[in-house]
Structure 1
Amino acid sequence: MIRQAMSRMFYGWRIVAVCLVASVFANGLGLFGAGVYLHALVERNGWPTGLVSGAITLFYVVSALLLIPVGGILGRFGPQPVFALGTAALAGGVAAIGYVAAPWQTYAAFLVMGIGWACLSMTAVATTLAPWFERHQGRAVSIASLGASVGGLAGVPVLLLGIDRLGFAGATTVGAASAVLVMLPLTVFVLKRRPQDIGLLPDGAGASSATGARAAAWNRRDALRTAALRSVMAGFGIGMMVQVGFVTHQVTLLAPALGTAGTSIAVSATAISALLSRLVLARFADHMSARTTAAVMMMVAAASLAAMAVRPAPAMLVAGSVLMGMTIGNVTTLGPIIVRREFGAASFGAVYGIASCVIQLATALGPSFYGLLHDGFGGYRVPLLLAATVDVGAAVVVLAGKAKAAHP
């Protein structure tokens, strides 16, 4: 019975499942894990927060610069080589971070992790899924992005527990090995390039049922001239800078007030909130305005950051983290959904490749934005208030680009 049901299921949903698992490891060991590594390195070695934050910024800069070629490789050769390289690089960097003894080694480890993040990021996931879905593209991307919430939910507590039981090096080694053992078989045996290769069309239609005209293709130059794409790059660049900076510093922000156990619970609550909000988005993504939803998410994030800055009591830190969780997953997911809707599947890899490069470069500023302001002002109050202010601006920019996509 199960085998019959699997045979009737559109193969694209298997691609979604692999992308979901990839997001679990990429976010658990990469995005959310970076905050754990930051805290562990500062605590163990006594290095300044800003110094280690710079290594995390390098992580994002490297991945940003690779997103354009990653999109091209995915379009030309399919996801298998990209996901395989991403798994190897992420695992190698994570394993190395547990053994670093000098700042330059930290920067080298995060550089390698940046390669892995570029190959397994939401950009890679969305580009992998773009050929497989038309009517359900919002749902497919949203479901795959659930892996990011699962990674955040499990990654930080497991890493913190692993460090407590196995030591820093032992925990990162086990995490790296787990990624390789799970992801490489899925990459080799499940991933495929496009539905046409197995006689299907997007959403599972048979090849004989193809109807309608092919959507016009965009090139990067024409797309960059549109207010629609520029608003995505600017708005989501700011929004992601604020979001990733918070995630990176969340453990260090919460630990003095909540302790290790309380911090683990708060981070888990953040991830649960992100997971629930992503479930809601997966259900309604194909029937709502992605731009309006993104703007609302950024306003909620701004409110939560401001509340934590003004009243950094334990209860408010937990409540603010949970509110941030509602926005974390959806801000990440809505950018590619907007570009996919406004520019089409055929152009998605090229158009979102350049957009995501700009967004990721802005994102790279997040860890250092919080870290340098923390060191300069002696705490997180100023960086949180400034982050809230710029997030409001990001919401306005995203709304300003609504319904302004032009035809090529």
Structure 2
Amino acid sequence: MSTVLQTKTTSGGRIFYGWWIVFGCLLVAVVGWSLTVFGMGVYIHALSERPGFSISLISTAVTVSYLVNAVCLISVGTATTRLGPKLVFAAGAGILALTVPALAYCEQAWQVFLIFAVMGLGRACLSTTSISTTLAPWFERHQGRAVSMALLGASIGGMIGTPLLLGGMTVFGEKTAFILAGASSLLVVLPVVLFVLKRTPQEMGLLPDGEAPATDRATKTEAFWSRKGAMATRQFYSQLIAFALSLMVQIGFLSHHVSLVAPKLGDQGASIAVSSAALAAFIGRIALARFADRVDLRLTTAGVLLVAAASLAAMAMTSSAEGLLLTSVCYGLTIGNLTTLSPIIARREFGAASFGAVYGVAASVIAIATAFGPGLFGILRDTFNSYGPALVVAALLNLVAAIIIVWGGRKPLPSPS
């Protein structure tokens, strides 16, 4: 963090305000991931214990939630650019404040599907897309570091979200715990919206990265990619396919992590496993934040995917409590980096001027694919009465993704048409 804060404005040596935007986005990510991505595992575990609610049924409802999220991402990115992040983040927090408590009152399947569908919109408003779009005007040279730092909040959400939800259910009961969880979204996000967020550095008399004005140097003209032009390149569709496969696996795993380990570890042990994986993701994100602006991102992504594949394959072959904890931590090292690398690669290869249009499409398609992760895990688990086959399939998909991401960078990016 100290390395980050060395970037200052030109007046008085103050910390560049963009890093306060990063901190605000970090808090937004804590809420977004703890109550959606990591919270899904708790919701599946809690709802599946009620009569008439099977794991496959709830997993399908979670898939619907992610599909709604995917459909909304392009509009959310556009809204963040045109209206500013304040309205988008406030809407996301408000939706979660309503839908999370509502889950505790579900009695019929259609209610579960409806609530998860609406939650998908809230997830989109607090997503990687909205956070990356919020940060895009503030950073050029330090874009990779800024996004990585902001998305540390996702790992923090995993570390604290699941234990607080499970612990709250034990201490207060399910309904009270879900009500408190929903209220926390407003308590955390609204102060960020009201007191921290600004749209651009220019409205504060600043430049991206806190750079000093340089009237004596030529202005750099950046090539602009249309959506159609970008989609015709192997760089675009290789990263799209690779991240669609790997993030489908990731979302499926995270949604079932509690149910996967709880039979062997119990609720407390499952909470430790999820928190340990999130802590590992936090460590992985810190490492990426340190080197993201200097490494070959495609080779880095391939390495992350190979670690993920090995971890899932090992988890499929172990039944001991120690083995489940160890493999959860190993897979956790890859969780944060996969989420963070996707927008950073798009920004580096297609540039800041084209980022909104290009990544908006990519994020939407990737999110549609990831929506099927929870359902895939749930169907395979119910079919084989075990999570083993689902983990093996997930490991193979990560291997395929690693090959594709390296292949996509083997040729130079052509000039925009």
Q: Is TM more than 0.5 here?
A: yes
1:387 corresponding residue in structure 2? 394
Alignment correspondent of 2:343: 336
By how many angstroms is 1:90 displaced?
Answer: 2.0
> Which sections of structure 2, spanning at least 5 residues, go unmatched?
1-8
Deviations 1:197-227 (A, max 9, x none): 2222210124455753221221211111111
User: Counterparts of 1:355 and 1:312 in 2: how far apart (Å)?
Assistant: 37
1: CA distance between counterparts of 2:247 and 2:47? 24
What is the SS of the residue equivalent to 1:214? Answer: coil
Q: Percent identity?
A: 50
Deviation by residue 1:100-119 (Cα, 9 ceiling, x = unmatched): 11111111111111111101
- Counterpart position of 2:5: none
Cα deviation per residue 1:313-353 (whole Å; 9 max; x = unaligned)? Answer: 21211111001100000000000000010111111111100
Counterpart of 2:381 in structure 1 is 374
1:92·1:112 contact (CA, 8 Å) conserved in 2? no
Runs of 4+ in 1 over 6 A off after TM superposition: 4-7
Amino acid at match of 1:25: V
Q: Deviations over 1:357-379 (max 9, x none)?
A: 01000100100010001011111
Q: Which whole-Å CA distance do the structure 2 matches of 1:91 and 1:293 have between them?
A: 37
8 A Cα contact 2:304 2:337, kept in partner: yes
1:95 matched to 2:101? The reply is yes
1:294 is matched with 301
CA distance in 1, matches of 2:404, 2:213: 41
Hey, what does 1:147 align to over in structure 2?
153
Letter of the aligned partner of 1:205 in structure 2?
E
Q: Distance in 2 between matches of 1:180 and 1:128?
A: 19
- Number of the residue aligned with 1:27: 33
Structure 2 distance, partners of 1:406, 1:189, is 43
Aligned to 1:323: 330
CA–CA distance in 1 between the matches of 2:299 and 2:133? Answer: 23
How far off is 1:123 after superposition?
1.2
Match of 1:407 in 2: 415
Out of 4, 16, 23, the position equivalent to 1:17 is 23
- Identify the range of structure 1 (134-143 vs 66-75) with the bigger mean alpha-carbon deviation: 66-75
TM-score (norm 2): 0.94
Q: Alpha-carbon deviation of 1:139? A: 0.5
| Number of equivalent positions | 405
Matches of 1:45 and 1:347 in 2, distance apart? 50
Deviations 1:113-162 (CA, angstroms, capped at 9, x unpaired): 11111011111111111111111011100000100000000000000000
Q: Where does 1:163-312 land on structure 2 (aligned, <5 Å)?
A: 163-208=169-214, 211-312=218-319
Shift of 1:396: 0.8
In 2: Cα distance, 1:386 partner to 1:197 partner: 50
CA contact (8 A) 1:132 1:195 kept: yes
Q: Paired residue for 1:156, among 116, 141, 162?
A: 162
Look up the equivalent residue of 2:276 and give its one-letter code: A
Structure 1 contact 90–115 (Cα < 8 Å) conserved:
no
Does the residue aligned with 1:347 lie in a helix, a strand or coil? helix
**Residue 364 of structure 1 is aligned with which of 347, 368, 371?**
371
SS at the partner of 1:287? Answer: coil
Cα separation, 2, equivalents of 1:211 and 1:262: 59
SS in 1 for 2:173: helix
- Which whole-Å CA distance do the structure 1 matches of 2:126 and 2:160 have between them? 18
* Cα distance between partner residues in 1 of 2:67 and 2:287: 31
**SS where residue 94 of structure 1 aligns?**
helix
Contact 1:131-1:346 at 8 Å conserved across structures: no
1:346 to 332, 353, 367: 353
Contact 1:196 1:207 in 2 (8 A): no
For the residue of structure 1 that corresponds to 2:50, the secondary structure is: helix
Contact 2:31 2:188 in 1 (8 A): no
Is it true that 1:49 corresponds to 2:49 in the alignment? no
* Aligned residue runs from structure 1 range 63-78, under 5 A: 63-78=69-84
Assess if the C-alpha contact under 8 Å between 1:27 and 1:148 holds in 2.
Answer: yes
Structure with the higher fraction of residues in helix conformation: 1
Using the alignment, how far apart are the partners of 2:303 and 2:175 within structure 1? Answer: 41
Unaligned runs of 5+ in 1: none
CA contact (8 A) 2:311 2:328 kept: yes
